[in-house]
Structure 1
Amino acid sequence: MTGESEQAANRNPEQRTAEPAAPMMPASRAVGSWFRGYLDRHPGVALGTVGGQFVLGVRTVQFLITDILTGRFAVREAVDQAAFMASAAVLPTIFVALPIGVTLSIQFGLLAGQVGATSLAGAASGLAVIRQGAPMVAALLMAAAVGSAICADLGSRKIREELDAMEIMGVSVIRRMVVPRFAAAVLIGVSLTGVVCFVGFVAGYVFNVFAQDGAPGSFVATFASFATVGDLVLTLIKAVVYGAIVAIVACHKGLTTEGGSAGVANSVNSTVVSSILLLMIVNVLFTQIFMMLFPRQGL
């Protein structure tokens, strides 16, 4: 009997090595497990990121005010960062502002011609540049050129454990690294917005006068008649907020970088995408609130 059983096992080696298969998970449980994992990976992480950025922004503003009042503000670091940001963003901003101004002049010139109000082309294109074009163009270029550079710098320092070493030595990373970049980003954001306002208006004026046969005096007069100080104040407020958003998002992504050089690249990509998305949302809120508080009867 023993010999027969051994021969049977030799004839069927799979029967001797086979193990019982694991029970399959029901479809409902599999879907529920995937959904819980998705919530942990995406909305949960997003809420944590937004909360971390909010806390970083509050602490940065607190340190900025405290350092200015006590004379501890790192002026030289802020100036160096501002010079770097200007060198990285001024030329791209000008090259983007030119086609933006021309495009707005074309669209509003055609629209004004269709309704028989060609004299209002200057007011329409100029107001569009000041209210929406200038702050958004400056903010997008800040996010693409400045935000990515800030994130790459801080992310590289995080990977090399320089920031951890600063904390061990009792040096506040926020006060030493984030606050100067925050102040520089706000200053450069306002400056770039002014540059875009000027370049966009001049580009629209030149195109309207020389390409669309518009009247130079009418372009300037209608713009001066409809533009108000409130438009410029709103634009400057937008520039300050947009610069602050870009700086906080970039610094937070850089300070939370993990995973070596690949993690730095992922943080830079996330910085640009997150900044642009947040800037678009804030721009809609700003515009809607301004229109509700200061309604216009007509152009």
Structure 2
Amino acid sequence: MSIDTGIAAFRRPFAWRELILQCWFIARVSMVPTFMLAIPFTVLTVFVLNILLLEIGAADMSGAGAALGAVSQIGPMVTVLVVSGAGATAVCADLGARVIREEIDAMRVLGIDPLQRLVLPRVIGSTAVALLLNSLVALVGLIGAFLFSVYVQHVTPGAFAAGLTLVTGASEVVVSIVKAGLFGLSAGLIACYRGLTVKGGPTGVGQAVNETVVFAFVALFFINVVVTAVGVKATA
């Protein structure tokens, strides 16, 4: 299905309207969970890091640690959780319901390719939203880390801001973007595959949604490990 979806990307006409609708749909179901996860993840990381830095008298390095954590790890990891837990499950349930109602079979009878009309817009939409969510998490995380460090743990604002780019540069941002794009692509493909292969009526839809979460988590964490290792080697 992944190969067929890639081939369908070069066929015309392209379902632009469906792409826009799916981008908005996935973003709508993912936005609130993103905010709810990004702030606690970042604050907890910065809290532990700042305690260590205060013990060794290096509190001015708080910004460097917060930037590295938010950009390279927290942003992609929160994207993993949100895209697979909210966006992918919603896509799988939508396609599974269409299969149960025999809409997919009706499309094939009419000569409409479901991969081109339904799967491709959802995969591209999932990838695009994952990239946007990764940037949003990094931004929210840095703002939350700044406020928590300055107003709760009394870190100097200027020192925090000056340390943001100390160990985090363009290479770390590129690796983070690549991670997010692969996360969105993989989650979209897994969700669409499980949605289109639903069997057993409404009960099968529920099972497919649960399997989508499990498969997406496993695939995305594996991708995170591989891309992180390759990125460290490439940028060392």
- One-letter identity of the residue aligned with 2:102: E
RMSD of aligned Cα (Å) = 1.1
Q: Output the CA distance in 2 between the equivalents of 1:167 and 1:111.
A: 61
Q: Does 1:254 align with 2:195?
A: yes
Q: Output the CA distance in 2 between the equivalents of 1:97 and 1:108.
A: 16
Q: Output the CA distance in 1 between the equivalents of 2:59 and 2:85.
A: 36
Q: Does 1:163 align with 2:108?
A: no
2:194/2:212 contact within 8 Å kept: yes
Structure 1 unaligned spans of 5+:
1-55
- One-letter identity of the residue aligned with 2:8: F
CA-CA distance at 1:128 after TM superposition: 0.7
Structure 2 unaligned spans of 5+:
none
Match of 2:173 in 1: 232
2:64/2:160 contact within 8 Å kept: yes
Match of 1:62 in 2: 7
Match of 1:266 in 2: 207
Identity of aligned residues (%): 33
Match of 2:37 in 1: 96
Match of 1:109 in 2: 50
Q: Output the CA distance in 2 between the equivalents of 1:215 and 1:60.
A: 51
Q: Output the CA distance in 2 between the equivalents of 1:97 and 1:157.
A: 33
- 1:149-298 alignment, distance < 5 Å: 149-295=90-236
- One-letter identity of the residue aligned with 1:274: F
CA-CA distance at 1:57 after TM superposition: 1.8
Match of 1:118 in 2: 59
Residue of 74, 77, 85 corresponding to 1:144: 85
Q: Output the CA distance in 2 between the equivalents of 1:225 and 1:128.
A: 13
Q: Moved runs in structure 1, 4+ residues, more than 6 A?
A: none
- One-letter identity of the residue aligned with 1:127: L
Q: Give TM-score scaled by structure 2 length.
A: 0.97
Q: Give TM-score scaled by structure 1 length.
A: 0.77
- One-letter identity of the residue aligned with 2:224: N
Q: Output the CA distance in 2 between the equivalents of 1:73 and 1:117.
A: 55
Q: Output the CA distance in 1 between the equivalents of 2:3 and 2:64.
A: 39
Larger-gyration structure (1/2): 1
